[in-house]
Amino acid sequence: MPRDVSIAVVGATGAVGLEFLKVLEQRAFPVSSVRLFASPRSVGKQLAVNGKPVSVEQTHPGCFNGVDFAFISVSSELSEELAPQAVEAGALVIDDSSAFRMRPEVPLVVPEINGQDMEEHRGIISIPNCSTTQMVMAIAPLHAVNPVRRIVVDSYQSVSGAGSGAMEELRSQANATLTGEDDILSSRIAFNLRPQIGDFLSSGYTKEEEKMSEETRKIMHAPDMAVSATCVRVPVLVCHSEAVHIESEGPWSVTDARNLLANFPGVSIIDNPQAGEYPMPWDLAGTDDVYVGRIRQDWSHPNGLAMWVVADNLRKGAALNAIQIAEEVLRRDCLKPTSSLSQASSA
Amino acid sequence: MPRDVSIAVVGATGAVGLEFLKVLEQRAFPVSSVRLFASPRSVGKQLAVNGKPVSVEQTHPGCFNGVDFAFISVSSELSEELAPQAVEAGALVIDDSSAFRMRPEVPLVVPEINGQDMEEHRGIISIPNCSTTQMVMAIAPLHAVNPVRRIVVDSYQSVSGAGSGAMEELRSQANATLTGEDDILSSRIAFNLRPQIGDFLSSGYTKEEEKMSEETRKIMHAPDMAVSATCVRVPVLVCHSEAVHIESEGPWSVTDARNLLANFPGVSIIDNPQAGEYPMPWDLAGTDDVYVGRIRQDWSHPNGLAMWVVADNLRKGAALNAIQIAEEVLRRDCLKPTSSLSQASSA
């Protein structure tokens, strides 16, 4: 049994941060002490951690001293500033932003898929983008048996991916529309769709769509896997959904694919279409698994398989994956890096 | 100038029927007389047609006598019963159901694409499924220049595709959720997604997904075109949206694709991503065109192109396409069939 550890949660009052504290308690993660950090406007708030109130602080020099794990869920810009400070102080950073994901020296980890990558960490382990995580969970068990050459994926992403403010905004927009007090001028998402998540690149893809391509290749150790995504924000509060079409080296039997998925840890099958059973986001918010349904041979490609994948983007897409990484770090006993990103000695 | 014609609208009080009466007036379709038919519970209602009230009747034997065009938008079962009666009476049926679409002797028409097919009609011309129509509008101009071999499409279909009752249901579910009076037990669509439209087939695809494959091949005269669809109901009131990925014989330049689309009648480009401009359903409800944006080379396939297509499913997807067919029939002077489905003489 590993010793209890000291943790810091940065971005504790955000949608992912709050979910993180829930998951921490639900999984009885072995903490000896918890520090909570957030932006100045949240300082002084108290949040329950394992049933006890903990005050939210602002980060400051030295705030990561004595911390074993720093869980960071803030903007990339802020992560770039804070993560090195935490590493310097001897903490292992588990970072939810895109700041470090594609750096060659930073493991990008979904424990069920590439847990071994974390053993090479140098102070930072990145969590993949939420839309990537649930997709690779559904593809990894298939890829292991019948290599996947190409993925076409179109996403249906909930507003919680943009934070708790976006959830409130959806509710208030929907209410304004229903009551006829509708003066929503921009960024309407209620009863609407927005086919943009993240900034646009010169390729015409968005940053979010690029993440789904690049991160998938990195996590799967599949540099030649082709991935084309269209990422769309939908008026759903929690859970991302994805229509996924894969092309493999050889043909698929639906039975084989279903068995591979059903036997993969963290994946559940909901696929009884004749009974109207398939994964739907409203039903699955607050749960841990990645749910796969609508599994069928893709009749437009001899080696194709199509499926529908739903997961709670705040849990497996973020908070749960972060804690699973920490659990796996303890299991593999690799809290301290073999070589550090910085030359600082551990505190 | 063709003579004014006598029309019957069957399903006049439905979502498509009401939109049809709007389009009829907006396009000043040359009608001499209009009869409105609906189910018994609507009998006696009055609807405005070109500004004048017309009473809704129940269909009855002989009700199509003297009718030139019978526009039918009811269930397939009811269409199967009523359309032959109208043909028998000498009317040209323009049918919105799936009852006749795939019959070899029935033209399935989007006038901009295969208007010439209507000349072979034998009393019935079918309108494609709404999700098919907007997709083929965006693909036909590309296919004409660089043949499309395969389409992967994932849809984001509004509830109005299931009728006006479904629109009311979405509003009332959303209201119940927001006010905390949420006792929605089944068929939730508010703040949810449902990856099923139509019944399931043994292939694992739904009927709606099969329509997108079969109808596309028929309209485009492309029996070998491979089409894989995932059709998903989303909490949007009007307009269907589609993430479309095509694979052509040769590679695509985005500029060429955009020009081809921009020059095709009935297609508009909204594609200035850097300015946050792309088609969105809320903005486009009530308009006539098929809107294409997010046009980009599909980086997962050498001959691939990806795009995002939005259209008002009640207008181009149904009512507008129906009237455009009638206009084209008059222009081509092919109201009467060269050979009739029935042996009855025209009334």
Residue B185's pLDDT is 64
Residue contact A299–B154, C-beta within 8 A:
no
Interface predicted TM-score (ipTM) of this complex, two decimals: 0.95
Same topology between domain B5-129+318-332 and domain B131-313: no
Structure tokens at B331: 């222009």
Residue contact A273–B204, C-beta within 8 A:
yes
Cα B336 to chain center, whole Å?
Answer: 23
pLDDT averaged over every residue in chain A = 95
Residue A345's pLDDT is 41
Residue A337's pLDDT is 85
Span A5-128+318-332: which CATH code? 3.40.50.720
Structure tokens at B324: 């455009």
Residue contact A295–B235, C-beta within 8 A:
no
Contacts of B299 in chain A (CB under 8 A): 203, 205, 213, 226, 228
Residue contact A156–B193, C-beta within 8 A:
yes
Ordered by start, the domain boundaries in chain A are 5-128+318-332, 131-313
Residue contact A279–B188, C-beta within 8 A:
no
> What does the alpha-carbon distance between residue B84 and residue B107 come to, in Å, rounded to a whole number?
15
Q: Which amino acid is at B192?
A: N
Residue pointed to by tokens 């398939």: A278
> What does the alpha-carbon distance between residue B121 and residue B248 come to, in Å, rounded to a whole number?
31
Residue pointed to by tokens 């930073």: A106
Q: What is the pLDDT of residues A297-321, one digit of tens each?
A: 999 999 999 999 999 999 999 999 9
Strand order in the sheet with B290-297: B226-230, B148-156, B240-248, B304-311, B290-297, B267-269
Angle formed at CA A166 by CA A229 and CA A324, multiple of 5 degrees: 65
Q: For strands A52-57 and A148-156, give the pairing.
A: unpaired
Task: Flag whether pLDDT at A107 surpasses 90.
Answer: yes
> What does the alpha-carbon distance between residue B192 and residue A56 come to, in Å, rounded to a whole number?
34
Find the closest chain B residue to A174 by CA distance: B174
Residue contact A230–B237, C-beta within 8 A:
no
Residue B3's pLDDT is 77
Extended strands (E) in A122-263: 124-126, 148-156, 226-230, 240-248
Residue contact B236–A205, C-beta within 8 A:
no
Residue contact A195–B280, C-beta within 8 A:
yes
Residue A125: how many CB atoms within 10 A of its CB?
26
Measure B57 CA to nearest chain A CA, in Å.
33
Q: Which of A63, A143, A231, A240 is catalytic?
A: A240
Find the closest chain B residue to A225 by CA distance: B300
At A247, is the secondary structure helix, strand, or coil? Answer: strand
Residue B126: how many CB atoms within 10 A of its CB?
27
Residue B345: how many CB atoms within 10 A of its CB?
8
Structure tokens at A319: 């908070």
The verdict on whether A130 is a catalytic residue reads yes
Classify the C-alpha dihedral A63-A67-A73-A75 as positive or negative: positive
Residue B228: how many CB atoms within 10 A of its CB?
25
Task: Determine what percent of chain A is predicted with pLDDT higher than 90.
Answer: 93
Option in B196, B297, B299 nearest A278 (CB): B196
At B260, is the secondary structure helix, strand, or coil? Answer: helix
Q: Which of B63, B130, B231, B239 is catalytic?
A: B130
- The DSSP letter of residue B160 is G
Q: Are A284 and A239 in contact (CB under 8 A)?
A: yes
Q: Please name the CATH architecture into which domain B131-313 falls.
A: 2-Layer Sandwich (3.30)
Option in A178, A196, A234 nearest B193 (CB): A234
Residue A290's pLDDT is 98
Distances (CA, A) of B263 to A314, B142, B247, B267, B293: 44, 11, 21, 8, 14
Residue B337's pLDDT is 85
Mean pLDDT value across residues A98-113:
98
> What does the alpha-carbon distance between residue A218 and residue B330 come to, in Å, rounded to a whole number?
59
Option in B154, B236, B296 nearest A192 (CB): B236
Residue contact A196–B276, C-beta within 8 A:
yes
> What does the alpha-carbon distance between residue A312 and residue A317 come to, in Å, rounded to a whole number?
6
In total, the C-beta contacts within 8 angstroms joining chain A to chain B are: 165
Q: Are A216 and A244 in contact (CB under 8 A)?
A: no
Smallest CA-to-CA distance from A318 within A208, A240, A261 is with: A240
- The DSSP letter of residue B232 is -
> What does the alpha-carbon distance between residue A343 and residue A248 come to, in Å, rounded to a whole number?
44
- The DSSP letter of residue B14 is S
Give Rg (Cα) of chain A: 20
Extended strands (E) in chain A: 5-10, 31-37, 46-49, 52-57, 69-72, 92-95, 124-126, 148-156, 226-230, 240-248, 267-269, 290-297, 304-311
Residue A343's pLDDT is 43
Residue B346's pLDDT is 41
The verdict on whether A231 is a catalytic residue reads no
Find the closest chain A residue to B283 by CA distance: A192
Structure tokens at B129: 């499924």
Nearest-10 crossing angle of helices B207-220, B130-143: 40
Contacts of A235 in chain B (CB under 8 A): 191, 234-236
Classify the C-alpha dihedral A174-A175-A180-A181 as positive or negative: negative
Q: Which residues, including other chains, have CB under 8 Å from residue B341's CB and lie 6 or more apart? A: B84, B87, B105, B122, B123, B124
Q: For strands A31-37 and A5-10, give the pairing.
A: parallel
> What does the alpha-carbon distance between residue A150 and residue A6 come to, in Å, rounded to a whole number?
42
Helices then strands (H, E): number in chain A? 9, 13
Classify the C-alpha dihedral A130-A136-A137-A139 as positive or negative: positive
Selected for mutation to probe chain B from A150, A152, A186, A310 (highest B CB count within 10 Å) is A152
Residue contact A273–B300, C-beta within 8 A:
no
Option in A194, A279, A282 nearest B191 (CB): A282
> A35-74: string of b/e by CB count within 10 Å (b at 16+)?
bbbbeeebeeeebebeeeebebbebeeebbeebbbbbbbb
Burial level of B291, CB count in 10 A (0-12/13-18/19+)?
buried
Task: Flag whether pLDDT at A347 surpasses 70.
Answer: no
> What does the alpha-carbon distance between residue B256 and residue B278 come to, in Å, rounded to a whole number?
18
Q: What is the pLDDT of residues B157-178, one digit of tens each?
A: 999 999 999 999 999 999 999 9
Selected for mutation to probe chain B from A294, A297, A308 (highest B CB count within 10 Å) is A294
> What does the alpha-carbon distance between residue A265 and residue A274 come to, in Å, rounded to a whole number?
26
Residue A2's pLDDT is 58
Mean pLDDT value across residues A44-51:
95
Residues of chain B whose pLDDT is less than 70? 1-2, 182, 185, 339-347
Residue B263: how many CB atoms within 10 A of its CB?
10
Structure tokens at A342: 């910085």
β-pair partners for A272:
A277
Option in A171, A203, A304 nearest B296 (CB): A203
3-state DSSP helix/strand/coil percent for chain A, to nearest 5? 35, 25, 40
> What does the alpha-carbon distance between residue A111 and residue A3 come to, in Å, rounded to a whole number?
21
Q: Are B334 and B109 in contact (CB under 8 A)?
A: no
Candidates 3.30.200.20, 1.10.630.10, 2.60.40.2300, 3.40.50.720; CATH matching B5-129+318-332: 3.40.50.720
Which DSSP string corresponds to A279-339?
A: --HHHHTT--SEEEEEEEE-TTSTTEEEEEEEE-TTIIIIIHHHHHHHHHHHHHT--S-SS
> What does the alpha-carbon distance between residue A175 and residue A329 come to, in Å, rounded to a whole number?
45
Q: What is the pLDDT of residues B37-61, one digit of tens each?
A: 999 999 999 999 999 999 999 999 9
- The DSSP letter of residue B328 is H
Mean pLDDT value across residues A261-269:
98
Option in A192, A295, A299 nearest B282 (CB): A192
Residue pointed to by tokens 């938008």: B73
Residue B181's pLDDT is 79
